[in-house]
Amino acid sequence: MAEERKQIARVWFWVGAAVLLVIVFLVSKHMTRDRLPVHAATVSRATLESTIPTNGVVEPEKNFTYHSPLATTVRSISVSQGDRVKAGQLLMQLDDITARARLASAESALHSAQASDEAIHDGGTLEERQSLSSTVTRDQLDVAQKQRDLGALQKLQTTGAASASEVEISRQRLALAQDTLQTDQGRQKTRYSAAERTRSSSAVADAQANLVAARAILDQTSFRAPIDGTVYSIPVGRSDFVEEGKMLLQIADLTQVRVRAYFDEPEIGRLAVGQKILIVWEARQGREWHGHITQVPSTVVTAGTRNVGEVLVAIDDADNGLLPDTHVTVTVTTSSEPNVLTVPREAVYKENGKPYVYRIVDGNLQRTSVTTGTFNMTQEVVTSGLNDGDVVAMGSISGIALEDGVPVKVVR
C-alpha cells in the first residue's frame, strides 16, 4: 500500500514538473518573441489648415484685345512686346485701301437710296413729274375738245344733220377721255403704294447702317492705347497679311491681374468668397503670391475630362511678376483651426464608420476609440479619446495588420 502511494506521488511529481516546464517555455517564448516594427507619431497640438490645390490661369482684370476688322496687311507697328504705353499712344496701323473703298461705296449707295426715296415720296423724279403733268394737261385739253364735239353733234341732231349713233359715239369718246384724265390725275397724287414707300425707307436705313459700319471699319485700321498699360502680346509682324478677325495686339495694366482657377465639382461646396489663396508659378521658383476668392462658381463646365467650377481670385500683392496667360498652381485654405489635437490621417482607422487608433502603451498596441473632426491632406483633428503626448501607430513596416495587444517597437 505504501509502495502504491509512492508510485502515485512519483507520477504527480513528473506531471507537475512537465506542467512547470510548459509554463516556463510559454513565458519564455512570450518574453523573447520578436516585436512588430511600426511607424509611430506623437499626438500634439497645432493649427490645422484644410486646403485644396488646383490649377489656374493668370488674366488681366481689364484686358484690351485688338482684332483685324477685315482681310488686309499690317502697315506699321509702333510698339514692341513688353513696352509700357500711355493712353492715346499709336500702337499699330493696317493698310486701309480696302476700307476706304468700302466707305466710298457705302456713301454712294446711301446717296442713291436717298434720291430714290425722295422721288418716291414726291411722286417720282422731276422729269417724271413734269412728264406726268404734261400728260394731264393733254388729257384736260382732250376732254374739253370731246365735250365741244359732243355739244356740236347734239345741236346737229336736233336739226336732223347728225344721227343718234354719231352722238352716242361722241359721248363714248368723251367718257373715255374723262377716264384717262382721272387716271392720270390719280397717278399724280398716289403714284406709289404704301408698301413701295416702306421698302424705299428701309433701303435708306440699310444704306445708312452700311455707311456706319464702313466708317467703323476704317476707324479700326488704326489702333491707339485706351489706357496707360503694357503691350504684352503682338502675334503679328509688319507687312504680315491678316485675315478678318485675326488677333493683332493685347494691352493691359499688369499691376491689376487676377487668377481664374478651376476647382473640381466635388470641392465647390467648400469654397467661399474671401478665403485665402496661395499662388505659385513654376517659372519663378521660390516666389509666392497671395490673394483671396472674389467670385465662386455659378455653374459647372466641362474642361477636358474634368467638371469644374471657375473661381476668380484677386491678387493682394501683384507686382508685375505674374504674366497674363501663364498657368499657375492655386491652393485655397478652406478652414483653419488653432491649437487642436492632431494625428496623421494614416493613424486613424474605421470600423462600421466609427474611428479608432492604436496607442502604444508600454510597448504594446492598445486599440482606442476616438472622435475626429476636420482634416486636411495629412492631418486629422481628434476631439476626444487621446491626450497631448500620446503615441499612436501609423502602420507596420512589413505591412502586417495591426492588432490590439501586439508588442511593437517604434522605427524612426
In angstroms, rounded to a whole number, what is the distance separating the alpha carbons of residues 101 and 348?
78
In angstroms, rounded to a whole number, what is the distance separating the alpha carbons of residues 218 and 251?
21
> Nearest Cα to 296, choosing from 324, 343, 263, 319?
263
Length of the chain: 412
Instruction: Return the pLDDT at 236.
Output: 95
* CB within 8 Å of 174: residues ≥ 6 apart: 143, 146, 147, 149, 150
Instruction: Return the pLDDT at 179.
Output: 86
Cell readout for 124 is: 417720282
Instruction: Return the pLDDT at 195.
Output: 79
Instruction: Return the pLDDT at 95.
Output: 95
In angstroms, rounded to a whole number, what is the distance separating the alpha carbons of residues 280 and 58?
11
Cell readout for 77 is: 507697328
Instruction: Return the pLDDT at 130.
Output: 66
pLDDT in tens, the chain (412 residues): 556 666 666 666 677 777 777 665 555 445 445 789 999 999 999 988 888 999 999 999 888 999 999 999 999 999 999 899 999 999 999 999 999 999 999 999 999 888 887 777 655 555 666 676 777 678 788 888 888 888 888 888 888 777 888 888 888 988 898 888 777 666 656 666 677 778 888 898 999 999 999 999 999 999 999 999 999 999 999 999 999 999 999 999 888 899 999 999 999 999 999 999 999 999 998 899 999 999 999 999 998 899 999 999 999 987 778 888 899 999 999 888 899 999 999 999 999 999 999 999 999 999 999 999 888 888 999 999 999 999 999 999 988 999 999 999 998 7
> Nearest Cα to 279, choosing from 253, 261, 306?
261
Contact (CB, 8 A) for 48 and 342: yes
In angstroms, rounded to a whole number, what is the distance separating the alpha carbons of residues 37 and 45?
26
Instruction: Return the pLDDT at 29.
Output: 47
* CB within 8 Å of 309: residues ≥ 6 apart: 262, 263, 265, 268, 271, 296, 297, 299, 300, 301
Instruction: Return the pLDDT at 53.
Output: 93
Contact (CB, 8 A) for 329 and 55: yes
Instruction: Return the pLDDT at 405.
Output: 93
Instruction: Return the pLDDT at 174.
Output: 84
Instruction: Return the pLDDT at 193.
Output: 65
